[in-house]
Amino acid sequence: MSSLSTRFYTLPRINTLSRFAAIKAEIRPFRYYRYPRNIFLTTRKMASIPTIKLNHGGVEIPVIGYGLGTAHFKRAGDVALNPAIITATQTALSSGFTHLDGAEVYGNETELGVAISSASPPVPRSSLFITTKIYSAISSPSEALAVSLKKLQVDYVDLYLLHAPFWDEKEKGITIEEAWKELEGLQEKGLVKAIGVSNFLVEHLERIRKVAKIQPAVNQIEYHPYLQNPELKAYHKQHNIVTAVYGPLIPITKAAPGPLDSVIQELEKKYNKSATQILLRWTIDDGNVAITTSSKEWRIKEALEVAGFKLDEEDVEKIRIVGKEKRHRVFWTKEIQD
């Protein structure tokens, strides 16, 4: 892995982009951050990002990915190209991220495609792990993927997910089982390397298991110390499904104050790492793939620093135990009743 660079890479002049001003992304203030910001902007050798082998052939997924949701999410109907999203994604690429996590409903697959195709220095397609998801266009997964590939400017994606199981099957004219069979066909055609799901519960995974020739490789869910869901995790382990995690920083961004506050502060001192790094490392040491995001270079590089250390098992377990003292879900609260 090449050394981190302090340079910002910019797009060549594109007429479409020149019409739009960059939009400053709103990032929640970081409650626990104590280090000077330039600590993460120095040039240094970064530890390589480990991978987890999926149950689909030789496909391997990096344990940390850059997410195009949350801060980069675009409202439905917003077709204007957003330079801020492109720049942030290019910063992630130039900083060392190779795992990019997008989705049809995020509305920014075009920006992701532009960022990849115009990255400087160029990033070989074979070095990237690109995820996208289908939900609003679920009626025809094949057509939806064709649109996504065109926007992303690639011939295939590494991971294609059913974004959630909560669509009206009568309205959309397709069941979970039928949608899954279409994804299997897309994988057989080589348009996707691996297939999986997101926000699925055990009952939904069982519907797929009963009809599948190819079992889901991944289930991407909201997961953090305040939302551990041991039953679902046990099911994943039993069926060799990798747990990918969004919202790993919720205990410090949306659920503070909480019982983990003092624990995280202690571990910050012990490891000389930020609260963000402690929680991301806990997510990985708990056996998951962590998806995180930011528009700021220092925070992007801060996230990648987690490849350089591990938590002691006793600290992983301490976070797990104390985290169970509070329950906090942020996403899909109407569809999922805890």
**Residues at the annotated binding site for substrate?**
163
Please report where in the chains the tokens 């280090």 appear, as a residue: 35
Where does the chain show beta strands of DSSP type E?
Answer: 51-53, 60-62, 64-67, 99-101, 129-134, 157-162, 192-198, 218-222, 242-246, 289-292
DSSP 8-state class, residue 125: G
135 noted as active-site residue: no
Q: Which residues are annotated as a binding site?
A: 163
The closest alpha carbon to 306, from 71, 68, 48, belongs to 48
Number of alpha helices (DSSP H) and beta strands (DSSP E) in the chain: 13, 10
Q: How many CB atoms lie within 10 A of CB 296?
A: 16
The closest alpha carbon to 85, from 103, 98, 73, belongs to 73
> Which one from 66, 106, 135, 226 is the annotated catalytic residue?
106
Q: Which helix (H) or strand (E) holds 286?
A: none
Catalytic residue numbers? Answer: 106
